Chains A and B, each alone.
Chain A
């Protein structure tokens, strides 16, 4: 029986006030269950990243509500149950790639040596194990993004949120990277939500959600419409 990882009801997020008020997300209602793989498609600036931040508990809604029934309250989301792979370079500069990938697991209480061994396995799956001892400043944008994805799967998360994971890859490499993401997510039993503007990426995932001007349309909503 799948569990409900995320439940949102009329979720909204606005920035600023008065005339400068910008509504990034409005009225989003959805659920994410264990085992879901969701593509969140939409053009740049449509609110995809903001929605991922809200789901990850990194940001708080200004309207509506969001809960994580199978996980707990906002404070228990990270490190562990919910992880996020960012679009831009997000590795910690003074740590090596392996140390970066092992960090969430260590933050979650795992022993350092075990976390490092697991990190090396993840790096291998994302084909960057040769870079384990490199520092972030020595990596290309694509390599950095792969390492960031490997880090998102560190510490056995139940839900991984990936923001434009193939954005800095050519199409062939991007395809292979998506294979790796899906494989690792399946092996880990993690639900997956991928924000992308690339239709070919979205097509590989089970559910298709779209966002436009901050308004979310889930697969069910699309069907019922």
Chain B
């Protein structure tokens, strides 16, 4: 009964305190529930997202001599197989077509035998473009090479057999050509990785008839398999599961077949992302939750003096310590209930606003689990911030001490300060960080194909130690400034306090504990907001670099045809509106020893006109110098670091590459001179590739054909893309891509973390926390000293003079906190970016600073402080009679 009376009294008389405490708990609960649900949903969708991109899960290459029917039976019966269809692969030495009296002949290619229901079973593999979706189909590029279209008759040269003719029923695109034509069971790098230039798709029955007597080794059969996608949500577990199933099937086939495991390859890439998702939660999410909890603690502790006096009154009236703790528990439960309910409602609202769904994409069960965690957290937070201090006070303070109106809280320096724990933490963190960076490590190591993932948890200590060390150091700096820098404070507060500057400085100096607490909280929230914003901006900026690297330029036209892009296209494109510059580039393949690598033939003097040549692309960090050297050496070549290492190359060494000559389509040796190292290059793959002079390639191979056209635009890239596509026409076989679309793909990737959504969530929370830390803490701190202000007002202090106290304290907390927070935030962002370097592709050369957001942060903090300060001054304009009557 007393509990209810007590609660009713608190709600009536201490409404502000109760609302403040509940708001603190609500913010922490909101942050935990929203981020937790978001990350769980992201992680759970990783496997399904990764799996969605795979058109054919397994390609089982039937070994020579194994009956297709037997292998098909074994495959169909394997665990998890939901569909399996045989596909014939036959080599052709060339295709021929006659058009208007001219004969077009292509180089070698592949003829596929496709079962009737293949397109419906594996919908992502074949995309009809023109004509029928079944019958004899030509790949888009092949149709372009032959100048063939629907109704054309083409001749297929069959090794060891006579030519046969077929009539084209449709033209198709093969979006997953790389995996469709992969070499199964062959060591990587020993065969060309590019899909064939020429592909014909025949109905299975026709293929069986035409290639029933194919020469040995020129025809084979694969069984394409679709698996049940009932896989573990975690890509790592799904990867292990799929690898296990494949091995099991290979064992069942007893040497009768090898599996090209497309699904495992896809999951292999996603599993490292799953770990990085956890890291992002740890580094970008959890600090926010902890700061929100600290904020709730500070809010609760700002009412501690008054609570002490209330408890002292109760003790005088005979309340036992147990009863006092029970009353505090009642208050904590009410605060927890209100805080968690408001926090959870806010979380669903945030989900709806930021993601369009109140569940953040999580299942009901996942949502309920996080809601339960948030409720427990809210309750624990309330108990920790309200009940524990009350319990400690009851045990340690006498009634007289508890009644003491206000203490300045200037005790001895805390133990951690005396043993320099902050310096020790920062030193240790620095040591771990230095060790990690020095050795060029990756926090997550997921070697390709190896089921286990290595995570260097020890390194994660570095940011943790930095966070704690920084918080303690901020406290040390704040208290030291206030204790020893009274002269400096007097000067600094003069603009607000005028003649009262000395008194204000003295007052602030003696309230150093409370002010330092505000400074630390402000600093931590600012550093959190700044580090998160810098990380996210750097990520977005790198995704632009990544998009530019993978796309090559603002707009890129590519073809896989050896004959290159249609003649005259470069000139035509250069005349289009919005095109600022163009550069043709050769894309060929060359053998370096037994390793087949991509080779790019460029004009080093002009390549930079159409695309950015970053210093980071080249070892030595000087793009201009490296390209100059290449231009000055006609047969010069830039190679990857891996190649330099593998072949022990020294600058000036001759490197003999084998390139395909136009005359006989065969690979011949061509001498090059090693002149430098290229780490990245527009459109190039991440591993090994070669960059050389286009003129030399043209001269030695007999073909100057360019397969890539790089375009710099001075208007919207997608608009230019549409124009270029219109110019090329549908049957050109060329692909046109632009940087904007490419970046959207990159940003929605990290393959599973919706970083854009995460960014929105975190940046908004960081703003809320910063505004809360500055405004709410200042307001509550000032409110707790209403009595002091009432006395000052009774002594005759005018509003302007009271403002001297208020604004000086606010300026110290805000300016000091933001300055220290900015330094700490920048440094922590640096550490997190280095540690999570695997998230970035390519790793950033420097951090990107989000000036607009930081300006917004300043405005939010300034506004919150202004509202708190003005509110307080309004409240003290007339001294409270309730307070004066007590004097």
Contact residues of A with B, CB < 8 Å? Answer: 49, 53, 56, 58-59, 77-80, 83-84, 86-96, 99, 102-104, 106-109, 111-112, 135, 137, 151, 163
Contact = CB atoms under 8 A, between A and B. Distances in A.
A95 B503 contact: yes
A135 B510 contact: yes
B408 A137 contact: yes
A93 B503 contact: no
Contact of A58 (B510, B797, B884): B884
B515 to A, nearest CB: 10
A94 B796 contact: no
A80 B796 contact: yes
Interface in B740-790: 788
Contacts of A93: 405-408, 788
A90 B795 CA distance: 10
The 4 nearest A-B residue pairs measured at CB: A79-B796, A78-B796, A86-B887, A94-B510
A49 B885 contact: yes
Interface of B: 404-408, 499-500, 502-503, 506-508, 510-511, 788, 791-792, 794-798, 801, 879, 881, 884-887
A78 B884 contact: no
A103 B504 CA distance: 11
Given A58-B884, A92-B788, A107 B796 contact: yes
B879 A58 contact: yes
Q: Interface majority SS on B: helix, strand, loop or mixed?
A: helix
A29 to B, nearest CB: 23
A208 B509 CA distance: 46
Given A78-B794, A137-B407, 15 more contacts: A58-B794, A78-B796, A79-B795, A84-B794, A88-B887, A89-B405, A90-B794, A90-B887, A104-B796, A107-B797, A107-B801, A112-B502, A112-B503, A135-B510, A137-B406
A86 B798 CA distance: 19
A115 B506 CA distance: 15
Given A93-B788, A94-B511, A151 B503 contact: no
Given A49-B885, A53-B884, A106 B510 contact: no
5 contacts: A78-B795, A89-B405, A94-B506, A99-B503, A104-B796
Contacts of B405: 89, 93
Contacts of B404: 137
B500 A96 contact: no
A94 B499 contact: no
Contacts of B885: 49
A59 B881 CA distance: 7
Nearest to A163: B887
A59 B885 CA distance: 10
B500 A108 contact: no
A190 B810 CA distance: 39
Nearest to B883: A90
Contact of B506 (A53, A80, A95): A95
A107 B795 contact: yes
Nearest to A151: B795
Contacts of B792: 92, 103, 107
B790 to A, nearest CB: 9
Contacts of B798: 107
B676 to A, nearest CB: 67
A84 B592 CA distance: 96
Given A87-B887, A92-B791, A96-B506, A107 B500 contact: yes
Given A58-B884, A59-B881, A137-B404, A106 B506 contact: no
A90 B886 CA distance: 9
Nearest to B499: A106
Contact of A92 (B507, B508, B879, B884): B507
A103 B794 contact: no
A124 B52 CA distance: 87
A160 B826 CA distance: 57
A59 B879 CA distance: 9
B204 to A, nearest CB: 90
B879 to A, nearest CB: 6
A87 B407 CA distance: 20
B456 to A, nearest CB: 49
Contacts of B879: 58
A84 B791 CA distance: 11
Nearest to A85: B887
Contacts of A137: 404, 406-408
B408 A103 contact: no
B876 to A, nearest CB: 13
Contacts of B511: 94
Contacts of A58: 794, 879, 881, 884
Given A58-B879, A88-B886, A137-B404, A94 B507 contact: yes
A94 B789 CA distance: 12
A59 B839 CA distance: 66
A2 B801 CA distance: 33
Contacts of A94: 408, 506-508, 510-511, 788
B503 A135 contact: no
Contacts of B795: 78-79, 83, 103-104, 107, 151
A103 B406 contact: no
A168 B502 CA distance: 32
Nearest to A137: B407
Nearest to B794: A58
B305 to A, nearest CB: 10
Given A89-B405, A95-B506, A99-B506, A109 B499 contact: yes
Nearest to A135: B408
Q: Name which of B500, B503, B507 has the most chain A CB atoms within 10 A of its CB.
A: B503
A80 B795 CA distance: 9
Nearest to A82: B796
A212 to B, nearest CB: 19
A117 B500 CA distance: 16
A89 B507 CA distance: 18
A108 B795 CA distance: 10
B630 to A, nearest CB: 71
Contacts of B797: 79, 107
A96 B408 CA distance: 11
B61 to A, nearest CB: 82
A7 to B, nearest CB: 21
A78 to B, nearest CB: 3
A115 to B, nearest CB: 9
A90 B791 contact: yes
B504 to A, nearest CB: 10
Nearest to B881: A59
A94 B801 CA distance: 16
Contacts of B408: 93-94, 135, 137
A104 B885 CA distance: 20
A14 to B, nearest CB: 13
B757 to A, nearest CB: 47
B812 to A, nearest CB: 14
Q: Name which of A83, A102, A106, A108 has the most chain B CB atoms within 10 A of its CB.
A: A106
A151 B794 CA distance: 12
B815 to A, nearest CB: 20
A93 B410 CA distance: 11
Given A92-B791, A93-B788, A106 B500 contact: yes
A76 to B, nearest CB: 10
A111 B502 CA distance: 11
A77 B796 CA distance: 8
Nearest to B795: A104
A163 B887 CA distance: 9
Contact of A108 (B796, B881, B887): B796
A122 to B, nearest CB: 14
Contacts of B506: 94-96, 99
A203 to B, nearest CB: 26
A5 to B, nearest CB: 16
A49 B797 CA distance: 21
A28 B70 CA distance: 116
Contacts of A106: 499-500, 503
Contacts of A96: 506
A202 B794 CA distance: 25
Contacts of A78: 794-796
